[in-house]
Amino acid sequence: MKLLVVGAGIIGVTTAYELARRGHEVQVIDREAGETRMTSAATAGLIAPGHSFAWASPAAPMELLKSLFSANTSIRVKPRFDPEFISWGLKFLRECTSSRASTNTLAKLRLAQRSQQVFNEIVKEEEMDFKPTVGGVLYLYRDEMGLRRAVERGRIMRDHGQEQNVVSRDELLHLEPALATSRASFVGAVHAVTDGSGDPTLYASEIRKRCEEMGVRFTFNTAIKAIRKDGDRVTALSSKESDFLADGYILAGGPASARLARTAGTRLSVYPAKGYSITAPVNAGAVAPRLGGIDEKSLVAWSRFGDQLRMSATAEFSGYSLAHSRKDFSNIVKAGQELFPGALDYDRATYKIGLRPMTPDGPPIIGAGKQRNLYFNTGHGHLGWTMACGSAEMLADVIEGKPSALHQDTYALSR
């Protein structure tokens, strides 16, 4: 089949690769000048099935309420009249029961686990230069109560195949010596043994090369403005200059997917949650973290990318605007200085923002919509890097009418 993918983020690139290796003719279109320039460039880098918790949970409404009255929380809601956010928010609130939270967490966890498996196979089969960091991810706690609650909350992960150990402060410092000089005092951590980390931009650039070797065409600096349809079929995607024709069309536009889908009369419940990230060089001779981690107090997450450390934080519901100021990154810098004093050169750091494409329930949307040949692979929220390869595999199965390793209905638009 001839297939057109809109979006060259981590989801679009991995989708193109999966389709091309199954023998399809694929073209990828993106309005940016290259792959992974938007949200995918801002990730913390964690490949973290062990952190597949649904954001919609019984605790979430109070967290959101608190965020309205404090400027310094890691969750920020900027109140404004936005019908799209109101509609998304009402759906989110409906998902905040404990039973929905468990169902949604499990759906995310299963996809993340499958995805990590597919990802590891690809890295091996393709003999890639890109290598993920293995050895686990550390979820760090500063008080006994927090650690106890985390162990309780993490039962769903352990019951469904994630190897997670509670480690004492001493064990933690053994696993991650960079924390020995930390000004924050941790009582211990959950060590998610099989979680990992890596730079999605590096992975995608290698995967793009493999795609090109298989004949995939990448068309950059081209924005798709509308989806043209005739009855239950899409006939073309239109940019300002031309129409693109194919047998099937895939929307992997991240946070912009909902607006584009609307031009085909489809309502996708995907809304952006803005996040911030910093990539700072490690100072010569400094001890910087080797493993990925999350400080569960500041909610700053980090991964080591060679001689740099990527740190990210914050979920801000403020629409599609990419506007930001240096102040928005101050919580990350403060946490970085507290966690790893003297380790990073903030003067040479690069600053990025990204809009996480969030569904109200949590799992992404993978599959077809109203039009038989229009497919979606979007809404991966805070875990798109983790879930990319598994989502691509499932979407390719849907297009080919094959069963998948997981239930396709769980991730369908009609769920």
Task: Name residues contacting ligand FAD, limited to 177-236 (CB under 6 A).
Answer: 223-224
* Range 173-180 contact pairs with CB under 8 angstroms and sequence separation of 24 or more: 175/135, 175/136, 175/138, 175/291, 176/138, 176/289, 176/290, 176/291, 176/293, 177/287, 178/287, 178/288, 178/289, 178/290, 178/340, 178/343, 179/140, 179/289, 179/339, 179/340, 180/287
In terms of CB distance, is 272 or 281 closer to ligand FAD? 272
Burial (CB count <10 Å: 0-12, 13-18, 19+), residue 131: exposed
Query: SS3 for 399?
Result: helix
Query: Min. distance of Cβ 35 from ligand FAD in angstroms?
Result: 7
Q: Using CB under 6 A, which residues numbered 252 to 291 contact ligand FAD? A: 252-256, 260, 275-277
Which of 57, 312, 359, 371 contacts ligand FAD by CB under 6 A? 312
Site for ligand FAD in 14-53 (CB under 6 A): 29-32, 37-40, 42-46, 48
Task: State how beta strands 300-305 and 292-295 pair.
Answer: antiparallel
Q: Minimum CB separation from ligand FAD for residue 323, in Å?
A: 15
- Chain centre distance of CA 123: 19
Burial class (CB in 10 A: 0-12, 13-18, 19+), 81: exposed
Q: State the minimum distance, in angstroms, from the CB of residue 359 to ligand FAD.
A: 11
Sole window of 90-98, 167-175, 383-391, 399-407 interacting with ligand FAD (rule: CB under 6 A): 383-391
253/224 Cα distance (integer angstroms): 10
Does residue 8 touch ligand FAD according to CB under 6 A? yes
Draw the binding track, 78-117, toward ligand FAD (x: CB under 6 A; -: no contact): ----------------------------------------
What is the nearest approach in angstroms of ligand FAD to the Cβ of residue 144? 27
Give min distance, CB of 168 to ligand FAD, in A: 26
Does 246 participate in binding ligand FAD (rule CB under 6 A)? no
6 binds ligand FAD (CB under 6 A): yes
* Per-residue CA distances from 300 to 21, 339, 345, 352 (Å): 37, 10, 17, 14
Cβ nearer to ligand FAD, comparing 50 with 254: 254
Instruction: State the nearest-atom distance from the C-beta of 356 to ligand FAD, in Å.
Output: 5
**H or E element in which residue 192 lies:** strand 188-192
Check if the beta carbon of residue 291 is closer than 8 Å to that of residue 197. yes
**Interface residues toward ligand FAD, by CB under 6 A:** 6-12, 29-32, 37-40, 42-46, 48, 223-224, 252-256, 260, 275-277, 301, 312, 354, 356-357, 378, 380-386
